Chains A and B, each alone.
Chain A
Amino acid sequence: MAELVSTATAPPGAGRRPVWTSLLLTLPVLLWAMLMFSRSLLVPGAAPKIAALIVLAFMVSLFFLMVFTRATYRWRRLFFVSLGLLFPIGFIWDLLALRGSMTIPFDSVLTGDVPFCFLAIPMTIVPAALTSTIIFPGSILATPSNPHAIVPMIVLWLVATIVLGKGWCAYGCFFGGIEEGVAALPRTARIKTVDRRWRWAPWGVLAAVVLLSAATFSPTYCAWLCPFKAVTEFSEVNSLRTAAQAGIFSSLFIGLVLVLPFLTKLRTQCTILCPFGAFQSLFNKLSVFEVRIDRGKCTDCATCRRACPTLSLDAGSAAQGRAMMSCMKCGACVDACTKGAVVWHIKGTSISASPETARLLYLYPAWGFATMFGGSIIASSLEKMVHLVV
């Protein structure tokens, strides 16, 4: 079987966009990034300024390259892997500074003195709306005694999800950046064939987590199945229960985030486990942006299927001319296709009607979100590192 095709090439026949045109198209992103980082540029101290300038230049440069080369995946991946690497550094740094440890005492769990996780955002909406209760530590709106309001996070998530659909998983989720970085390390996959039925596993996990949480009145996923506790925070290991939990999340992290991505070049945690990703898939129905396959140009070479990091393309979906609902719009398949058959598309328009325009119209909100959310996280982590030398 042919190896995973490099995703560095632009779609065939397109060529590079003229430099001045690319610069002009990048200008809105530059203005947005300056707005996002203006506060850091104005605060006293060199470290925040240096970090903000680095991230501003980084994000704007990557967008310019996406526009200039007409390719998406490898430039997005650079940002995404950086986010995956730097988020844990900054997060663990803060934990060590505040608590001296990554572990959380049970008392802190009881009082709700725990960091906020974006995975919980969708679950906070219904109880907040019906009972004015926040199931996560914080308040609905900011108060003097509790500045951590949940409404901004809900609004951010909702807008990003409606516009981008499951693009959140390709532009926002720092956990996915870790896997994507590991998957990029080997030149070829050592495990070349993965049963595509595994893509249904996250739905099974989501259903099980919802049912078990309702039955036990406990956060089943957070307590038992989240592999990213290995790079964030976790309960003190002082009982059989917490030892079992630590063993499970460590095994899931090592297996699904490190080993299997290395062996398969897939985002295996996202593909096989993540219930948040399964939930986000539903919003692909709302988003106007999608990946389609022009059957007139497609030769069924399966290059796109091999390039997809989440098994979101198979023979059936390709025959129907579309990616499956688990598609996170990372651009790997579009960039890999040598026939120009896999294209970005806006629902309601013709597939052949300017896919490059569809791509740019998707990239503006996606990169705007990435700059605001992921860029700020990268800047925060960089600032801490810069403090060591400045």
Chain B
Amino acid sequence: MKALVEPALLGFSSGLVCLASCGPVLLPALAAAGAGWRDTGLLLGAFLAGRLAGYLGFATLAWAAGLALPLPAPMNGAVFAVVHLGLAAALVLFAVLPRAPRAAPCSQAPATARRAALARRLGVVGPAAMGLLSGLNLCPPFIAADVRVAEGRSLPGALGFFLLFFVGTAIWFLPFLGVAGLRRFAAVRTVAVLTAIVVAAVYGYLGAVALTGVLLHG
């Protein structure tokens, strides 16, 4: 029983932190999509699936290498840089470019159609990529979970631990479904795109600085 409750409670207790750290990316992306309840649920599900993949990937690494986080400083910096640059790129590709409001004269109709097609293809790939990158956030509860895993569990045990940890955190994301209720307001999509631009700029800057630090100082 403890083996089931402990990871779930650890995840639930840290879910608010997960919400805060994922919010800048997830909320603008969902709002910019302007999807209905079902599609919003699909996008949120794709994001959470990506997060779960990130969690399980780290669980496998932690078990296989017997690693206990935090990682050495250069690796931490490299992970931080990759995550933030990736999130910035994903936001721009998924939330901004396909949905940037723009007049489309007849001569530009093919470009508009290309953007719409891009939006459809990125429909789940974008949120899943954002979820994967967000799932690599080395927050203290995540590190605590990794320490438990690194204490010699079997691989199924490690994966199960992080799966339950993930379920505990994922409960906090259910209210994001409410974004679907705002889809009838065109202004919400405009604001969401603008929010995504600001967040992408900030994350891009943070990632670039972190990467520069890693390259210069090792």
> Footprint of B on A, CB under 8 Å?
197, 200-201, 203-205, 207-209, 211-212, 214-215, 220, 224, 240-241, 244
Nearest neighbor of A198 in chain B, beta-carbon distance? B194
Given contacts A214-B23, A215-B20, contact A207 B190 (CB under 8 A): no
Interface string of B179-194 (1 = CB under 8 A from A): 0000000010011111
Main secondary structure of the interface of B (DSSP, over half): helix
Instruction: Specify which chain B residues have a CB less than 8 angstroms from the CB of A205 in the assembled complex.
Output: 194-195, 198
Residues A215 and B191 in contact in the complex (CB < 8 Å), given A205-B198, A244-B205: no
Binding site for A on B (CB under 8 A): 20-21, 23-24, 27-28, 101, 187, 190-195, 197-199, 202, 205, 209
Contact of B195 with A204 in the complex, beta carbons under 8 Å: yes
Known A197-B190, A200-B191, A203-B191; contact A208-B21, beta-carbon cutoff 8 A: no
Contact of B197 among A204, A215, A224 (CB under 8 A): A204
Tell me if A's interface is mostly helix, strand, loop or mixed: helix
A204/B191 in contact, CB under 8 A: yes
State whether B23 touches A211 (Cβ < 8 A): yes
In the assembled complex, the Cα of A380 lies from the Cα of B197 at a distance in Å of 41
Task: Give complex CA distance A197, B188 in Å.
Answer: 12
Q: Report chain A residues within 8 Å CB of B190.
A: 197, 200, 204
Residues of B with C-beta under 8 A to A220: 202
Q: Which B residues are CB-close (under 8 A) to A209? A: 198
Instruction: Given A215-B21, A215-B23, check contact A204 B193 (CB 8 Å).
Output: yes
Residue pair B23, A200 in contact (C-beta under 8 Å): no
Task: Contact check, A211 vs B101: say whether CB atoms are below 8 A apart.
Answer: no
Q: Which residues of A contact B194 (CB under 8 A)?
A: 200-201, 203-205, 208
The docked-state distance in angstroms from the alpha carbon of A207 to that of B188 is 11
Q: A204 to B195: give the CA distance in the assembly, Å.
A: 4
Q: Which residues of the partner chain B approach A203 to less than 8 Å between Cβ atoms?
A: 187, 191, 194
B209 touches A211 (CB 8 A): no
CA of A339 to CA of B155, assembled, Å: 78
Q: Which residues of B contact A212 (CB under 8 A)?
A: 24, 198-199, 202
In the bound complex, what is the Cα–Cα distance between A201 and B198 (angstroms)? 10
Question: Which residues of B lie under 8 Å from residue A211 when comparing CB positions?
Answer: 23-24, 27-28, 195, 199
Contact A207 B202 (CB under 8 A): no
Chain A residues, CB < 8 A from B24: 208, 211-212, 215
Q: How far is the CB of B97 from chain A (nearest CB, A)?
A: 16
Q: List 16 A-B contacts (CB under 8 A).
A: A197-B101, A200-B190, A200-B191, A201-B194, A204-B194, A204-B195, A204-B197, A205-B194, A207-B27, A207-B192, A208-B199, A212-B24, A214-B20, A215-B23, A215-B24, A240-B209
Q: 6 shortest A-B CB distances, which residue pairs? A: A204-B194, A208-B198, A211-B24, A214-B20, A207-B195, A203-B191
Chain B residues with CB below 8 A from A197, complex form = 101, 190
Given contacts A212-B199, A215-B21, A240-B209, 19 further A-B contacts (CB under 8 A): A200-B194, A201-B194, A203-B194, A204-B190, A204-B191, A204-B195, A204-B197, A205-B195, A207-B27, A207-B191, A208-B24, A208-B198, A208-B199, A208-B202, A212-B24, A212-B198, A214-B23, A215-B24, A220-B202
